[in-house]
Amino acid sequence: MPVQNVDVSEIFRRIANLLEIEGANPFRVRAYRNAARSVDSLPRNISEMVEAGEDLTELPGVGKDIAGKISEIVNTGALKQLKDLEGRTPAELDKLMNISGLGPRRVKALYMNLGIKSLEDLKTAAEEQKIRELNGFGEKTEQSILESLAGAEQEEQRIQLHEAEQRAAPLVEYLKDHEGVERITVAGSYRRRKETVGDLDILAVCKKNQSVMEYFTVYEDVQKVVSKGDTRSTVVLKSGLQVDLRVLPEAGYGAGLHYFTGSKAHNIAVRKKAVKRNLKINEYGVYRGDERIAGKTEQEVYDQVGLAYIEPELREDDGEIEAAETDNLPALAALEDIRGDLHSHTKASDGHDTLEDMVQAAQNLGYEYLAVTDHSKRVAMANGLDAGRLERQIERINKLNEKLDGFRILKGVEVDILEDGSLDLDDDILEKLDIRVCSIHYNLSLSREKQTSRILKAMENPYFNILGHPTGRIIGQRKGYEIDLEKIMKTAAESGCFMELNADPQRLDLTDTHCRMAGESGVKIAIATDAHSRGSLEFMRFGVNQARRGWMGPENVINTRNCEDLLKLIKRR
DNA sequence: GCCGTTTTCGGCCCGACTGTTTTCAGTCG
């Protein structure tokens, strides 16, 4: 199994942490973190790039030195530098950095003075009240370390965007009820529509700061107040979700929104551009010397540094700055562009609602078509359809379609890709359908080679249209099967197949990076909800958000076509 | 350690809050 991008970035992150604890040049530390991020956001496998002899120094944040280290990791599976570092500084100190309130300086002090190397050491020392004795530490710090340790025992929590919306909405409504609140926006990764959200960053324009902050911290769902100031407060909700509230003056709202939306890397890149123009950007505005020259809107901020407006979903410092400089930003797909859903289930298999109900719901969303794609027989647990039952569903859909005006039900199936790469239904029934989503539900743990050739083999079938939930991952639960997605995408592009972007908020499969890989491979995607009930058809927006994060325009998405064009497009010769 | 429309050397984003301190270091986002 080749070295994966995450293997490389993980090594660089650990090097950065250990160097930081040693007190190395902070810019050198940052260089490793930048390189880690660069490798992470790469839409291609780094091992293949090394093997192909490509020039790694062309990657942002990768110079000659780090390029050599990447090669070393790819070729040997490890990095001598990290081993050397771990010889000098215990590798476990890395983990202490995750404790809230502990940074490199304090971790080093704890190690040097108390010999603390692990979380257990830390807990013991805190309980024995030894930490408060140290210079620069005190009783409160010791207490907060104990609290963080208790929290660290639970899993690191990033919640799904879907859940974040449900936490944010009532809190925003609550804050709006305060007479001092004039304007309010949830910024941060929530606004960038990341698939998971670590905390909520709420931005407000207010009249009475102190009163609003007081009101915020007594919200009924607040479990703990972490900090409370005039312009910024932090609380933890009972669910464990952290929420920051930042209050800003109206005049600098755009600058604040930009600052608080992030990403951090994007902000840094924009501020660097400002510095070159002798400007300074902070959350209050754009400044020349002491004079504020812009900041009312985000557009003003971008104007000052010579950039076109960048949509929040693109703000990851992953090429959007360069694109904005040269007016090469993509025109992103929007929910309004979507003309129909291409993956849905009914009561015939494991859906909750009837065919008629699903169709009605799709019409209510303003769609022109809905592909009904119940499971095939292999998925017995979901009451998957055999050829006979599918035949009857086809007849039923034909009859329904006759009655519908301006809407078409597409006859489809989610057919299983069996372990040998054949499809779970015969060609003579598949032929009678308009569209086939082909998915893997069993034998998830095959080797990368076998899993990849299983899918490639399936795509040889002329009735293969869309690869459903391509990696099989479930966010926070299941990693997804091992496959060579790049190869699969290239083959799909050549043979007229498409990749699904499953819009279910707990799948969102493809990822944003995968979408960019699709763009580069020339394969188009289908954004589809995999809805098992009427309500879930509305998850389309999560899929569109994800596609936008992956730089997808309407032309990259097949279900932005009208029905006729769509069917022409997916027809294989 | 990276990088270059002032630079191949000398820079590298910026401010709030906390706790432990009497003016600031450390951490965080």
pLDDT tens-digit profile of A451-480? 999 999 999 999 999 999 999 998 877 788
Domain assignment present for A511: yes
Higher pLDDT, residue A52 or A489: A489
Domain assignment present for A191: yes
Cβ partners under 8 Å of residue A90, min gap 6:
A111, A117
User: CA–C1' distance A418–B27 (Å)?
Assistant: 52
* Window A258-297, strand B contacts by Cβ < 7 Å: 264, 267-268, 271-272, 274-276, 278, 280-283
Give dist(CA A376, CA A388) in Å, integer.
11
Rg (CA), chain A: 26
CATH number of A180's domain: 3.30.460.10
The H or E element that residue A36 is part of is helix A26-40
What's the pLDDT score for residue A151? 67
- Please tell me whether residues A364 and A504 are part of one structural domain: yes
- Please tell me whether residues A381 and A321 are part of one structural domain: no
Structural domain ending residue among the three candidates A190, A225, A248: A248
**CA proximity to A205, closest of A250, A161, A173:** A250
Structure tokens at A415: 């057919």
Give dist(CA A74, CA A129) in Å, integer.
45
What's the pLDDT score for residue A573? 66
What amino acid occupies position A43? P
- Please tell me whether residues A461 and A508 are part of one structural domain: yes
pLDDT band at A1 (very low <50, low <70, confident <90, very high): low
pLDDT tens for residues A235-256?
Answer: 998 888 899 999 988 888 999 9
Point out the least confidently predicted range of A152-156, A369-373, A430-434, A553-557: A152-156
Across A132-168, b (16+ Cβ under 10 Å) vs e yields eebeebeeebbebbeebbeebeeeeebbbbbebeebb
Q: How many CA atoms lie within 13 A of A495 on its CB side?
A: 21
Q: What is the mean pLDDT of residues A183-206?
A: 93
Structural domain ending residue among the three candidates A122, A152, A182: A152
Helices (H), A477-521: 485-495, 512-521
Give dist(CA A76, CA A73) in Å, integer.
5
How far apart, in Å, are the Cα atoms of A220 and each of A172, A174, A199?
Answer: 13, 10, 18
- Please tell me whether residues A425 and A565 are part of one structural domain: yes
Sheet-wide strand order for A232-237: A181-186, A199-206, A242-248, A232-237, A222-228
User: CA–C1' distance A58–B9 (Å)?
Assistant: 21
pLDDT tens for residues A264-311?
Answer: 889 988 988 888 888 889 888 999 888 889 999 999 999 999 999 999
* Whether the bond into A239 is cis, omega within 30 of 0: no
Domain assignment present for A361: yes
How far apart, in Å, are the Cα atoms of A528 and each of A146, A237, A320, A501, A537?
Answer: 45, 33, 26, 6, 9
Domain assignment present for A479: yes
Domain assignment present for A330: no
- Please tell me whether residues A345 and A293 are part of one structural domain: no
CATH number of A387's domain: 3.20.20.140
Q: Is 90 exceeded by the pLDDT of residue A30?
A: no
Structure tokens at A427: 């060609």
Phi (first) and psi of residue A245, to 5 degrees: -115, 130
What's the pLDDT score for residue A371? 97
- Please tell me whether residues A286 and A310 are part of one structural domain: yes
How far apart, in Å, are the Cα atoms of A386 and each of A142, A148, A281, A461?
Answer: 64, 54, 62, 18
Domains: count for chain A: 4
Structural domain ending residue among the three candidates A229, A248, A267: A248
Pair A123, A152: CB distance under 8 Å:
no
Nearest nucleic acid nucleotide to A284, CA to C1' distance? B15
Point out the least confidently predicted range of A35-44, A119-128, A218-227, A277-286: A35-44
- Please tell me whether residues A61 and A198 are part of one structural domain: no
Pair A286, A292: CB distance under 8 Å:
yes
Q: What percent of chain A has pLDDT over 90?
A: 57
- Please tell me whether residues A172 and A242 are part of one structural domain: yes
Residue A69 sits in which domain range?
A: 5-152
Three-state SS at A438: strand
Across chain A, mean pLDDT equals: 90
pLDDT band at A98 (very low <50, low <70, confident <90, very high): confident
Three-state SS at A450: helix
pTM: 0.81
How far apart, in Å, are the Cα atoms of A320 and each of A179, A277, A306, A551?
Answer: 39, 19, 13, 9
List beta partners, residue A487.
none
Give dist(CA A186, CA A234) in Å, integer.
14
- Please tell me whether residues A399 and A539 are part of one structural domain: yes
**CA proximity to A358, closest of A537, A140, A156:** A537
pLDDT band at A334 (very low <50, low <70, confident <90, very high): very high
* Window A33-52, strand B contacts by Cβ < 7 Å: 34-35
- Please tell me whether residues A481 and A559 are part of one structural domain: yes
- Please tell me whether residues A546 and A558 are part of one structural domain: yes
Give dist(CA A534, CA A6) in Å, integer.
37
Q: Is 90 exceeded by the pLDDT of residue A498?
A: yes
DSSP 8-state assignment for residue A3: P
Q: Is any atom of strand B within 7 angstroms of residue A170's beta carbon?
A: no
Q: Is 60 exceeded by the pLDDT of residue A555?
A: yes
User: CA–C1' distance A26–B2 (Å)?
Assistant: 13
Give dist(CA A46, CA A77) in Å, integer.
13
Higher pLDDT, residue A44 or A205: A205
pLDDT tens for residues A500-541?
Answer: 999 999 899 999 999 999 999 999 999 999 998 888 899 999
Domain assignment present for A189: yes
Count of all residues that appear for chain A in the document = 573
Q: Is any atom of strand B within 7 angstroms of residue A189's beta carbon?
A: no
What's the pLDDT score for residue A355? 95
Domain assignment present for A192: yes
Cβ partners under 8 Å of residue A178, min gap 6:
A211, A212, A215
Residue A303, Cβ density class (10 Å: 0-12 exposed, 13-18 middle, ≥19 buried): middle
- Please tell me whether residues A310 and A367 are part of one structural domain: no
Q: Which nucleotides of strand B come closer than 7 angstroms to any CB of the protein?
A: 1-3, 6-7, 11-21, 25-29
Domain assignment present for A85: yes
* Rounded (10°) angle between helices A104-114 and A119-127: 70
